[in-house]
Amino acid sequence: MKNLFTLLTVIVLGNLISCQSPKENATMEVMSFDIQVKNIKMGEHDAFVYHLKNSNGMEVELTNYGAILSKILVPDREGNSQNIMLTYEKVEDFINDTYFFGATAGRYANRIAKGKFELDGEEFQLATNNGENHLHGGLKGFNRQLWDGEVIDGLENEIGIRMRYVSEDGEEGYPGTLTTTIEFILGKDNRLKINMEAETDKVTIVNLTHHGYFNLSNMEENILNHEVQLFVAYFTPVDQGLIPTGELKSVEGTPFDFREPRKVGERIEDTGAGYDHNFVVSEVHDGELRKMAEVYHEGTGRLMRVFSTKPGVQFYTGNFLDGKQTTQGVTYSKNYGFCLEPQFFPNSPNEPSFPSARLEPGDTYRHEIVYEFDLK
């Protein structure tokens, strides 16, 4: 396959976007963005890797195979930009991923009990890939599909990539042909926005999220010393299969109380296997963008904020990381990364009291996720 490599430098002056080189604007205060695009082979697929960079030291790497976000680099308090995501040595290695590193999870992120649900009296059986349950879209979810990808034109003070995938009726057992579009947009203020939209031709269920594993420590230690704050009052207890029981339980007096910043490792042993639970940001789904979480690492000074328009967020502490993956000399053992996955609640199609993930023809599913990075 012929190798393609494209570099685009964009200089932003207020609302003016110029194609001039950085040297020509050297005497002016500017915000510059770089986009690099190259082609790779993902198994039998011809795919692309996109590298986005702003002049504040933040870089994002992603691929249209699986709409996977493979790296995020942000500065620490010393000004050193390093990767904060669990990843592989090279993007091509994601073809064999089993951990959902950086994945776009869909059609339904998280678990559905026994892979079954009903819509209007009709029962649907999904692929089961997590014991007897359905997880993150099944055996070949959205993270294993090839998406169309393109650079977004006409953005001001930001750059982005748009991806599109058409999931056919019956794929992994889901009803309806679902057309999904995702935009990954990097701003000058070290914010990464992920905008997701989907439409269907039959009534169906949709729950899309980003499943990146983060570690703010320059990969020098696990995440047990990271301080986490969750802006929630309730969580959804689970059974042994990690399926919610249907109860909304107060976090007060439990190891799940992160209303004030706490280190992950402070009470993780009291949870049993670790955190892998949905936290209730809102009991209704009103589409309002809310701050869900903050995570801070004292050693590097990195502060991460997570916002979303969905009513729940899964806090997962890498309990199933088994030390079989080593990247750049770092072995990803248990608790080496954390996930904050904005979402509808797990198994909501089988829990009428949970916010509904139902999507009708003519309606549009929308989900906005924002990752914001700062220092303190």
The residues carrying an active-site annotation are 211, 341
Q: What is the DSSP letter of 136?
A: T
Q: What is the DSSP letter of 85?
A: B
DSSP-based three-state secondary structure for 21:
coil
* Residue 291 burial (CB count, 10 A): 15
Q: According to the annotation, is 287 in a ligand binding site?
A: no
Q: Which residue has the tokens 């053992």?
A: 333
Q: According to the annotation, is 110 in a ligand binding site?
A: yes
At position 16, the amino acid (one-letter code) is L
Q: According to the annotation, is 365 in a ligand binding site?
A: no
Q: Please check whether residue 180 is in contact with residue 207, taking contact to mean a CB–CB distance below 8 angstroms.
A: no
Sign of CA dihedral 108, 303, 156, 102: negative
As a whole number of angstroms, the distance between CA 200 and CA 203 comes to 7
HSE of 199, CA atoms in CB hemisphere, 13 A: 7
Q: According to the annotation, is 212 in a ligand binding site?
A: yes
The burial class, CB within 10 Å (0-12 / 13-18 / 19+), for 229 is middle
Q: According to the annotation, is 102 in a ligand binding site?
A: no
DSSP-based three-state secondary structure for 348:
helix
Q: According to the annotation, is 234 in a ligand binding site?
A: no
Which parts are annotated binding residues for beta-D-galactose? 110-111, 211-213, 276
